[in-house]
A and B are shown apart, each in its own frame.
Chain A
């Protein structure tokens, strides 16, 4: 069974802090994704990566960056957290033509 593990289920940070959200997958998937989910807006793609050290912007990359130094790990970075980044963050991975596997999500609150 594919396992996508996000480092924290709940996180509270302060405005202006640099925040790291970590995601690890154990199935050697090439593609990894970061989404945020807000009420009424569905899943919105922030960034994705199709290989180590490769990244592409999704629909809402502003205020975020990512890092993929190893195939199994994809990190989302909030450079300077703001209150409008309070959200549920979901990591996912998959291989081409296969279904996507999601982590349990991190509920991030920025105070």
Chain B
């Protein structure tokens, strides 16, 4: 069974702080790693889909890196803003089929 774990469970930062959190996944039979942002009262929104070891993707102040050999991905937010407050989910497809296995998420709260 594929286990995707995220840490920390929650994070409180001040506006302007930079922050990062981790997604861990089994390094064998890796297919892809997804990051999603889930704001309160909205549906999860895809941030990145990463497939290659060493991949780095960026979207505005948010970036992500991928290490498939050691089984982790980092999500970075530079200069956090209150609108970045959300739950950040990572997920990876199962070996068979197209099921995504989701981590439990990291809840980020940015105080102004």
Contact = CB atoms under 8 A, between A and B. Distances in A.
B43 A102 contact: yes
Contact of B97 (A4, A50, A99): A50
B103 A42 contact: yes
B98 A31 contact: yes
Contacts of A97: 32, 49, 51
B62 interface: no
Contacts of B105: 42
Interface of B is mostly: loop
Given A102-B43, A102-B44, A105-B43, A96 B99 contact: no
Contact of B102 (A31, A43, A99, A104): A43
Interface residues of A, number: 25
B34 A99 contact: yes
Contacts of B108: none
B46 interface: yes
B57 to A, nearest CB: 12
B34 A104 contact: no
A30 B104 CA distance: 26
Contact of B98 (A40, A48, A101): A48
Interface string A91-111: 000101111111111000000
B46 A101 contact: yes
